[in-house]
Amino acid sequence: MKAYETSYIRNIALLGHGSTGKTTLAEAMLYAAGMTSRLGKVESGSTVSDFDPEEIKRKISIRTSLVPILWKDYKLNLLDTPGYFDFVGGVKEAVSVADGALIVIKASAGVEVGTEKAWEIATEADIPKMLFITEMDAPNVNIEAILTTCKEKFGTSIAPVQVPWYEKGQFVGYVHVLKMLGRRFDGQKVVTCPIPDHLEEAIKPIRTMILEAVAETDEVLMEKYFAEEELTPEEIEKAYKKGVMNKEIVPVLCGSAVNATGISVLMDTMVSLFPAPNEAKPSIGIHQKTEEVKEIACSNDEKKSIFIFKTIVDPFIGKLSLFKVKTGTIKTDDALLNVRAGEVERFSHLYVLSGKEQKEVAALYPGDIGAVAKLKTPRTGDTMADKDFAYQYEPMVFPKGLVKKAIFPTGKGDEEKMSSSLMKLMAEDYTLSVENDKETHETILCGIGEQQLDVVVSMLKNKFKVDVYLAQPTTPYRETIKGKANVRGKHKKQSGGHGQYGDVVMAFEPSGDLEMPYVFEEKIFGGSVPKQYFPAVEKGLEECTLKGVLAGYPVVGVKAVLLDGSYHPVDSSEMAFKMATTLAFKEGVGKASPTLLEPIAHVEIKVPDEYTGDIMGDMKKRRGHMIGMDQRDSKQVIIAEVPLAELYTYATDVRSMTQGRGEVDYYFERYEEAPVDIQQKVIAARA
């Protein structure tokens, strides 16, 4: 594949709700550009971008794929992203290197939750947007209703470029309102023709909308518009592109990916309206030493630098690092410094990916997207550059995985294999993480949703040949006491030779500090227990607090006072006093009203107003305690305290209750006494 210069490159993220037809649209573009001889289908697993066995099996995208489209003199780097929330990490990767976002809407479904999420993500990334309404040939499509919803949800920037043209219920063409031309489909071609009379009325409000949007981009045009002077086609087109680049105008186009109609017009429009990388907003660079922030334009004027936005780890081909060239021209055999790791690595081969296919190239110009294999140090978010390039690009921020499951290998001795395979999957997906619980000795897998964790289990089995299963994590309960008890612990054992003798009288009561396992004091008078045995008593106490008397959980908040005791000049030893303390602890804690404490989390749930009732009702079922409410970004934030045991899959449950519009964050707050019925269940389960 030849190298394309910066002004002939367009980097576009395909965004939208799950199953709206993003992958099918990418296939239609490949076909319309003559790069494939037939349309690949998601159903048959024959698409270019969904090549992973998991994607073929599930018939959904689970990772972002790069699909370069060579259209006329241009190269469109399409980043086909997953639509399902569990795989949002892939969307974040795509928008970090895209210079424009094409949001796909299925005509039969209209604006869905994923459409709103895609809009939010593209807006946050501060890149120009375009909407494409696909499946226009489906029966009973109401494009006016879709446009009205778009304006309600996304504001007045929505500006349709086309008015669809139907004959006998069939989608046969459209009117290009920007150019005021009729366009009729002739197989895969689009033929220019007069505007049909019956569409004149439908065109007027759309044309007015476009002229208003265009006039707002320029004071001179605004004056002409209000003076009712005619704007020239050149003025309209130039101002329209300026409006798109400034994120003031969002064009809307329509067509059908399944039948490949309207696709060539879409690609022409993306070329003409979306910015080339050197026209797009500059990248943010942070100086390695001074932390000074600088805007770095995509050009050949600077030293060489790239940003690694994605990592693919394959058991056979090794690690592939996908990158965007930010400055300079990258060539085979270039040696670049990994700014984070401080290591220089040589690029022995450069590739352009098209789905799973790797095409070798000799050079990549600024703004292009490529891949390099088998580098040792790079990871997602790294900057690699010439040694005297002093800046590091802003890293991506990934959402935190709050759905948690304990993961266990099925086979004995597979722990290490499971661990190393998980590390490889985490290198690919930064929304996945692993926590090793030292207390329960469980490996906790954290992700965005249960579907994502299910894919991990499947990948471990099929890709890395390690069988695993998931379970609910063990909740880290604690034990403490509410009352007081004075007890004697005596350890006396006589055998041939020296015996064992240790005797302690101890008082147990709450210390009031649940952060500390125990507080130890001694109030011995008259040397009934010599000082040399005090450390042995404390050591026995320390060991006893590791496992409580109720259910074997660690003990906290206990004050133990050594009051009295006795010793034998020959048979007493440190071990004997340790054993005596153990006996005293078990009896004393058992008599001092032992109780179980459960971990409580501080939870914040951000939802649209209409879902607050459902969330609060569900809170009661989870034994949650409301603290308050707050307003943030036009959404309600419900603040509560909830037992941690109720939260392991709560992020998924909130998405279900809010149709994907809710977000959750939580962190451990403190321990408090569990209700009696919960205590009984936990103790019975541990028996």
Query: Is residue 98 included in any domain, yes or no?
Result: yes
Residue 402 · residue 452 · CB < 8 Å? no
Q: Report the SS3 class of residue 37.
A: coil
Residues 536 and 445 in one domain: no
Same domain, 587 and 658: no
Question: Do 583 and 505 reside in the same domain of the chain?
Answer: yes
pLDDT score for 595: 98
In this prediction, what percent of the chain has a pLDDT beyond 90? Answer: 76
What pLDDT was estimated at residue 383?
A: 97
Mean pLDDT on 188-208: 86
The answer to whether the beta carbons of residues 634 and 640 sit under 8 Å apart is no
- Give CA–CA dist 595/589, Å, rounded: 10
Fill in the amino acid letter for 217: T
Whether 525 maps to a domain, the answer reads yes
Q: Give the CATH number of the domain where residue 100 resides.
A: 3.40.50.300
| Each residue's pLDDT tens digit, 132-171 | 999 998 888 888 899 999 999 998 888 888 888 888 888 8
**Per-residue pLDDT band at 570 (split at 50, 70, 90):** confident
Residues 646, 578: one domain?
Answer: no
Q: Dig out the tokens for 548 from the structure.
A: 């409580």
What pLDDT does 496 receive? 64
User: Domain of 421: which CATH number?
Assistant: 3.30.70.870
Same-domain check for residues 389 and 411: no
520 is a domain residue: yes
Q: Kindly state whether residues 259 and 373 are assigned to the same domain.
A: no
Q: What is the pLDDT of residue 200?
A: 87
> Residue 122: enclosing H or E segment and its boundaries?
helix 113-125
**Sign of the alpha-carbon dihedral angle for 39, 43, 49, 53:** negative
Q: pLDDT band at 522, cuts 50/70/90? A: very high
Alpha helices by DSSP H, listed for 533-662, are 534-544, 574-591, 612-621, 650-657
How deeply is 149 buried, as exposed, middle or buried, from its count of CB atoms within 10 A (0-12, 13-18, 19+)?
middle
Average pLDDT over residues 59-72: 96
Closest CA to 561 of 510, 595, 500, 492: 510
Pairing state between β 363-364 and 594-607: unpaired
Segment 576-598 mean pLDDT: 97
437 lies in some domain: yes
Please report where in the chains the tokens 């424009």 appear, as a residue.
Answer: 100
What pLDDT, on the 0 to 100 scale, is given for residue 671? 96
CATH number at residue 523: 3.30.230.10
Tell me whether residue 185 is in a domain: no
Residue where one domain finishes, among candidates 592, 613, 640: 592
Do both 494 and 540 map to the same domain? Answer: yes
Structural domain harbouring 507 = 478-592
Residues 412 and 449 in one domain: yes
Band (187; pLDDT cuts 50, 70, 90): confident
Q: How confident is the model at residue 650 (pLDDT cuts 50, 70, 90)?
A: very high
The pLDDT, as a whole number, for residue 230 is 85
Is the pLDDT confidence value at 88 over 80? yes
pLDDT exceeds 90 at position 81: yes
Looking at the structure, do residues 675 and 639 belong to the same domain, yes or no? Answer: yes
Distances (CA, A) of 82 to 17, 59, 139, 274, 381: 8, 11, 27, 22, 19
Q: Distance between CA atoms of 76 and 270, rounded to whole angstroms?
A: 9
624 contacts 603 by C-beta, under 8 angstroms: yes
pLDDT of residue 276: 97
Query: In the structure, what pLDDT confidence band is assigned to residue 592 with cuts at 50, 70 and 90?
Result: very high
Containing H/E element for 22?
Answer: helix 22-32
Query: Which of helix, strand or coil describes residue 27?
Result: helix
Do residues 35 and 341 lie in contact, with contact meaning Cβ atoms separated by under 8 Å?
no
**Is the per-residue pLDDT at 14 higher than 90?**
yes
Question: In Å, how far from its chain's centre is CA 564?
Answer: 59
Check whether residue 121 and residue 256 sit in a common domain. Answer: yes
Integer CA distances (angstroms), 113 to 63, 95, 208, 293, in order: 19, 18, 29, 35
Q: Which of 262, 67, 290, 72 is nearest to 164 (CA)?
A: 262
Q: Are the CB atoms for 298 and 306 separated by under 8 Å? A: no
184-192 average pLDDT score = 82
| Per-residue confidence (pLDDT) for residue 205, from 0 to 100 | 84
Instruction: For Cα atoms 159, 111, 100, give the angle at the middle one, nearest 5 degrees.
Output: 55
Pairing of strands 181-186, 189-193: antiparallel
Can you read off the two tokens belonging to residue 480?
A: 């403490």
Is 495 domain-assigned?
yes
Residue 388 lies in a domain: yes
Which CATH number characterizes residue 610's domain?
3.30.70.240
Domain boundary among 455, 471, 487: 471
Alpha-carbon distance 178 to 194, whole Å?
A: 15
Read off the tokens for 29: 């573009």
Final residue before a domain boundary, out of 393, 414, 437:
393
Average confidence (pLDDT) over 593-597? 98
Over the stretch 293-345, which tens digit does the pLDDT of each residue have?
Answer: 999 999 998 899 999 999 998 777 789 999 999 999 999 999 999 999 999 99
> Which pLDDT belongs to residue 497?
67
Mean pLDDT of 33-57: 91
Check residue 61 and give its pLDDT.
95
Give the pairing of strands 129-134 and 250-254.
parallel
Write phi, then psi, for 486 (nearest 5 degrees): -110, 125
Q: What CATH code is carried by the domain that includes residue 385? A: 2.40.30.10
In this prediction, residue 27 carries a pLDDT of 96
Number of independent structural domains in the chain: 5
33 in any annotated domain: yes
Eight-class DSSP state of 547: S
Residue 365 shares a structural domain with residue 324: yes
Q: What is the pLDDT of residues 539-558, one digit of tens each?
A: 999 999 999 999 999 999 99
What's the average model confidence in pLDDT over 36-55? 90
Among 206-210, 304-308, 377-381, 588-592, where is mean pLDDT lowest?
206-210
Q: What is the pTM of this model?
A: 0.89
Do 257 and 336 sit in the same domain of this protein? no
Give whole-number Cα distances, 467 to 62, 143, 199, 436, in Å: 21, 49, 61, 19
